[in-house]
Copies of this chain bind each other. A is one copy, B any other.
Amino acid sequence: MAKKVAFFGLGNMGGPMAANLIKAGFEVCAFDLVPASVQKAVEDGCTAAANEKEAIAGADFVISMLPNGAIAEALYIDGAGLLDLVEPSALLIDCSTVAASSSRRIGEEAKNRNIRAIDAPVSGGVAGAEGATLAFMCGGEATDVEAAKEVLKHMGANIFHAGPAGAGQVAKACNNMLLAVHMIGTAEALQLGVDNGLDPKALSEIMLKSSGCNWSLEKYNPYPGVMEGVPASREYSGGFMVKLMQKDLGLAMEAALASKSATPMGALANNLYNLYATMSDEDNADLDFSSIQRFFD
């Protein structure tokens, strides 16, 4: 008999994730406050739930993909209070990207009730959600992360166990902070080369084979005309939007403030993206994050 999944948050990311579970043979009961999202989920084969409580009836897995920590905490604790309503056997998987402190709170409250719960924020974007190639960075008990693979493997290609509750969020924040740092560093280095008469393609090739090599340079060259099939080759449309990078950098800064960690490069990256996003008369927040290259023209 098909296992049952309660799925909360069926937007650009959650929608295709739930659809992939349907394809894999799960029975998915969907809940979202946006009628159009529910409608689309039903077209994909989900059942619509009238409310949160109905959605989780008999669920083996509860998966949530929500926009921020306040909404996630409301769903599980403060508002709908699912932690007090789910089957004791259910496994809760919050795929939302939120502050580590939010995930730790949900994890702790779940533990107090003997409910299994993990945080599992993703990377890979809409394309990853649609193609089931997401990476999941999981925080929680190792056995629970292992058990979660039964569903996660149908939505993603890589499943990492980062550590205890909240560790998934921390790992994602660290990774994306580092990504922002080398993306801006790459953009600066390429422009410095161009300003000194070098061809950006020749310089990219040299750095790719040298110690400057990094993901931004190798998979996502920000300089227009150097690499095909990346946002830089289509005027920075598509891809991972500046505003999403701002959100992730904000979460990294929040974590750094809480642990009093020094992150000078990360903080500068955060501020440069904030400045870039609101540059006068431009609307850069919706462009791909590699468009920071334009800042250095």
Residues of A within 8 A of B (CB): 100, 123, 135, 137, 158, 160-164, 166-167, 170-171, 173-179, 181-182, 184-186, 188-193, 195-199, 202-203, 205-207, 209-217, 219-220, 246, 250, 252-272, 274-275, 278-282, 294-297
Contact = CB atoms under 8 A, between A and B. Distances in A.
A271 B264 contact: yes
The copy count of this chain in the complex is 4
A170 B196 CA distance: 7
A162 B205 CA distance: 9
Given A163-B198, A173-B192, A174-B198, 4 more contacts: A170-B197, A250-B260, A262-B275, A265-B265
Contacts of A198: 162-163, 167, 170-171, 174
16 contacts: A100-B196, A137-B206, A158-B209, A160-B206, A167-B196, A173-B192, A174-B212, A175-B211, A178-B185, A181-B265, A185-B185, A185-B265, A191-B261, A191-B262, A213-B215, A246-B260
Contacts of A219: 211
A296 B279 CA distance: 8
A3 B14 CA distance: 60
Nearest to A206: B160
Nearest to A205: B160
B161 A266 contact: no
From A215, A261, A264, residue with most partner B Cβ within 10 Å: A264
Contact of A257 (B182, B189, B253): B253
A254 B170 CA distance: 18
